[in-house]
Amino acid sequence: SSGIFWDNDSLATLLAQELNADLLIMLSDVEGLYSGPPSDPQSKIIHTYINEKHGKLINFGEKSRVGRGGMQAKVAAAVTAASKGVPAVIASGFAIDSIIKVMRGEKIGTLFHNEANFWDCSKEVTSREMAVSAKDCSRHLQNLSSEERKKILLDIADALEANEDLILSENEADLAAAQDAGYEKSLVARMTLKAGKITSLSRSIREIADMEDPISHTLKRTEVAKDLVFEKTYCPLGVLLIIFESRPDALVQIAALAIRSGNGLLLKGGKEAMRSNTILHKVITGVIPDVVGKKLIGLVKSKDEIADLLKLDDVIDLVIPRGSNKLVSQIKAATKIPVLGHADGICHVYIDKSADMDMAKRIVLDAKVDYPAACNAMETLLVHKDLNKTQGLDDLLMELANEGVVIYGGPVAHDTLKVPKVDSFHHEYSSMACTLEFVDDVQSAIDHINRYGSAHTDCIITTDKKSADIFLQQVDSAAVFHNASTRFCDGTRFGLGAEVGISTGRIHARGPVGVDGLLTTRCILRGSGQVVNGDKGVVYTHRELPL
């Protein structure tokens, strides 16, 4: 131990000093330095090591399975390197692209730096403190009466309308910055709070306020035995983390649903709408009473904090990402917290051979053109082969083209109509593109949707009730429609007041997720001194009781 070096870590430190390296990266079998053994649920990763702060607090566990010295030796080597002017990072050697991510400056592993004690490292505790505060405030919220929670929502609706000019001014600043930065038109469109939007949002909040109180709503009552009654009731999930892109109006809808359902909330919006999100958050939290606490709804402003929040599976109960396929997939891969959402919005409309073509034209145009950037907009048009080259279909395709829709063809459509050929039915074209394909019958349409769809929203247009029933029963999607536009798949339009997102999963909510999707259940047992004692003397009745 008094030698020049004694293991690979100290040798690496010596070499880094000799070379005057800009950075030393040491790979471990864990993500970085923890406050205790990584296997201990109470141990938390330390992103920036400060010797004065962490030196005496760390409890090292057993040595590494793949090296000599374990984490203690790595820390000693990293501290030495940093003291000699070579920053060091301890990161996982098992995680994909760890070295590349460190080189990009991403917040992974543990950083050692000789000036770290001068930095403001308060962010390391901010994420946990924010989540814990939201949970504490949610318990205060649940203790309020239904009327008191309702009043909070009504006050929010009034405050939004009172601050409309300020909100729109901040939104216009975001839009100007986004256009200057060259963002896509579809993203700018999603960011825009159009005239009348604040009024619409306030009306939606008032509808949520008028809904039946979901908290402690009794679902089931059963007499287990004499004077022993079992009840199953609704209760809030706890703390929700919502990560969304572009749309500031989503912040308002989600906040209203969280308050009505008694949940704490952490919100991370896209940086492109930061000013809009900040003013909306300020207006909403400004009317939350002190008896609940303003920290009921936290606004996460740094992308770096997301990684920390996704590790808080002991505090955060559900993550809902709203955005691109890439965003949702990244979130699912990075957390142990349950994730609710959809990764794609590949929605189909199938025109059956018995369809009313005037109706089909209205539905298809609405499904594609009403709001092309929406996740419930039509991406693929399936048509019965008997309608190929008919006047009704030709008129429909001409209408789509006149609206600026670019039509690509599957193998059959490409060969018969000479439209550009689709590369894959898993396409990611612009929001104004549409894939067209011909199918043999309703069963072929169902098979195509179940194979290539994203289980979001799919529709059949037909006058044949039998075909419609087969389609509605066999298409394996969260929402399946007959003779109605896919654009109806929306929490507000379904009467849910609003939605936190649309889930294509199966656990625990599916389709547009409103208040009921933000609740779980609690079991309550009311007794009079009963004990099990091997079930001796207990006469189970299991009789259903009125609610």
At 528, give phi and psi (nearest 5°).
Answer: -140, 40
Say how many CA atoms lie within 13 Å of 440 toward its Cβ.
3
The single-letter code of the amino acid at 55 is: G
- For residue 472, CA distances in Å to 440, 445, 452, 477 come to 18, 12, 17, 9
117 close to 83: Cβ distance less than 8 angstroms:
no
Bridge partners (DSSP) of residue 458 are 348, 480
Q: What is the tens place of the pLDDT at every residue in 167-192? A: 999 999 999 999 999 998 878 988 99
* 3-class secondary-structure state, position 525: strand
- The residue among 360, 378, 386 whose CA lies nearest residue 441 is 386
Would you state the pLDDT for residue 62? 57
Q: CA-to-CA distance for 519 and 254, rounded, in angstroms?
A: 14
pLDDT of residue 374: 85
Q: CA-to-CA distance for 299 and 322, rounded, in angstroms?
A: 16
- Which residue has tokens 């389709």? 511
DSSP per position, 296-355: GEEE---THHHHHHTT-TTT--EEEEES-HHHHHHHHHT-SS-B---S---EEEEE-TT-
Instruction: For 309-354, write each residue's pLDDT tens digit.
Output: 999 999 999 999 987 777 888 898 899 999 987 767 899 999 999 9
Count of alpha carbons within 13 angstroms of residue 115, beta-carbon side:
3
Q: Are 479 and 375 in contact (CB under 8 A)?
A: no
Tell me which residue of 378, 382, 386 sits closest to 438, measured CA to CA. Answer: 382
What pLDDT score was predicted for residue 148? 96
User: Which tokens belong to 59?
Assistant: 């409890």
Domains within the chain, CATH numbers bracketed: 8-120 (3.40.1160.10), 127-218+233-334 (3.40.605.10), 347-499 (3.40.309.10)
Residues β-bridged to residue 437: 382
Q: Taking the CA atoms of the chain, what radius of gyration do you get in angstroms?
A: 28
Phi first, then psi, for residue 134 (nearest 5°) are: -60, -40
pLDDT of amino acid 66: 47
Backbone angles phi, psi at 91, to 5 degrees: -140, 170
Vertex 175 angle, CA 171 and 176, to 5°: 120
Verify cis geometry, omega within 30 degrees of 0, for the bond prior to 54: no
Chain center to CA of 143? 27
| Mean pLDDT by groups of 10 residues along the chain of 547 residues | 76 93 93 84 82 70 55 89 94 89 87 83 68 96 95 98 96 94 86 92 94 90 96 96 90 95 95 94 97 96 85 95 80 91 85 98 97 90 96 95 92 83 64 92 97 95 98 97 97 86 85 92 95 91 96
Angle at 237 between CA 235 and CA 243, to 5 degrees: 150
pLDDT per residue over 445-482, tens digit each?
A: 999 999 999 999 999 999 999 999 999 999 999 999 99
CA distances in angstroms from 118 to 46, 82, 111, 113, listed in the order given? 16, 14, 14, 10
Q: DSSP of 255-268, one letter per residue?
A: HHHHHHHT-EEEEE
**Minimal CA–CA distance to 224: which of 539, 547, 542, 544?**
542
Q: Is the pTM of this model over 0.85?
A: no
Q: How many residues comprise the chain?
A: 547
Q: What are the C-alpha distances in Å from 160 to residues 164, 202, 209, 352?
A: 6, 7, 15, 46
Cα atoms found within 13 Å of the Cα of residue 427, Cβ hemisphere only = 21
DSSP letters, 161-226, are HHTHHHHHHHHHHHHHHHHHTT--HHHHHHH---TTHHHHHHHHHHHHHTSPP-TT-EEEEEEEET
Backbone angles phi, psi at 173, to 5 degrees: -65, -40
Q: Going edge to edge, which strands form the sheet with 239-244?
A: 297-299, 264-268, 239-244, 318-322
| C-alpha atoms less than 13 angstroms from C-alpha of 241 in its C-beta half-sphere | 29
Quick one: what percent of the chain has pLDDT higher than 70?
94
